[in-house]
Structure 1
Amino acid sequence: MSLRDIQRSKVYAAETFVRTIFDRAAETGLGPIDFFGEQITLPPEAKFSSVEAVQDYVDRVLELVGHRWPAPSVRVRARRGVTAAHYEPTSSTIAVPERQSRWALRELVVLHEIAHHLSSAAPAHGPEFTGTFCELAAAVMGPEAGHVLRVVYAKEGAR
């Protein structure tokens, strides 16, 4: 029996806002930004040109965090649809849209899918997932990325 994923829309809304924050910071040169009254400097976010580049990144991330989250390897594949990336737990596969839209070929989206791989608890977007994603982003991108995710999740009411 699976639990209802009641936080899903809150998690997606928070992450859309976080990606907008990163996009705006990149547009202005990645200097300090005002984030809810505090000045922080966000790290640059990696963007990928192909499924192969995403696969290389995923392999390196899993190697980097393997001491914290021992997990099997993940396969990355292209998917036909352009509306979402997703994680397939039965085959440990991340599917990303490669054609027509490259919105998913960015670090925050790929880390979201890796967090699904590292956090197998139900519901899929519950507190264990959000905690894993925040820790993962902090470990890979830097503490500022994890902080921004935590604050925006809280703002959106996601635990």
Structure 2
Amino acid sequence: MTRDAQRTKVYAAEGFVRTMFDRAAERGNPVVDFFGTQLTLPPEARFGSVQSVAAYVEQVLAHPAVRERWPATTPLRVRPRRGVTAAHYERTENAATIAVPEGRSAWALRELVILHEIAHHLVDADPPHGPEFVAVYTELVGAVMGAEVAHVLRVVYAKEGVR
């Protein structure tokens, strides 16, 4: 496997975008000033359980735009991950799984994080956070959350030097 050289930059960019959503939610106003342009952010889903994440993953994989773009997608399981503060994607010969922390780390139980993990499922990229992954994640976010969020991701990725 190739060294995942831009992983840190990808995580920094996505952290910036999540912070934008958090601040808009705190203000109760989805309109943000984004580099001189006003954008309206859509609501971001938050999840209260592994079961609700699993239901969301099924809905995303059944979404017409996702099925059309990635027709050969296999099922994706969701399981609890204890004692860890992050979500992650794992693939074995028999199954693909997203592991999410149960209750202790609410930041991982949010739509942008789950879509990141689903993007890993849609593209078996090497390196895992390389240009192919970034393109798929951005396209997936655009299909599910809307063009504004995809635009924000593209701009922030570019600002962070993500290819």
TM range (shorter): over 0.9
TM-score (norm 1): 0.96
1:101 aligned partner: 105
Which shifted more, 24-33 or 13-22? Answer: 24-33
1:135 aligned partner: 139
Aligned equivalents of 1:31, 1:115: Cα separation in 2: 25
* Unmatched segments (≥5 aa) in structure 2: none
Residue 32 (structure 1) shift: 1.8
Write the deviation string for residues 103-142 of structure 1: whole angstroms up to 9, x where unpaired: 1110000000000000112000000101111110010001
Question: SS in structure 1 opposite 2:45?
Answer: coil
Match of 1:84 among 83, 86, 89: 86
Aligned equivalents of 1:99, 1:39: Cα separation in 2: 34
Aligned equivalents of 1:18, 1:143: Cα separation in 2: 14
Residue 30 (structure 1) shift: 3.2
* Unmatched segments (≥5 aa) in structure 1: none
Q: Aligned residues: percent identity? A: 67
Counterpart amino acid of 1:53? S
Counterpart amino acid of 1:74? L
Aligned equivalents of 1:98, 1:31: Cα separation in 2: 28
Aligned equivalents of 2:162, 2:54: Cα separation in 1: 29
1:54 aligned partner: 53
Match of 1:74 among 69, 73, 76: 76
Question: SS in structure 2 opposite 1:40?
Answer: strand
CA contact (8 A) 1:45 1:108 kept: yes
2:120 aligned partner: 116
Residue 99 (structure 1) shift: 3.1
Counterpart amino acid of 1:58? V
Write the deviation string for residues 49-72 of structure 1: whole angstroms up to 9, x where unpaired: 100000000000001111111200
The alignment of Structure 1 onto Structure 2 pairs a total of residues equal to 158
Query: Runs (4+) of structure 1 moved beyond 3 Å?
Result: none
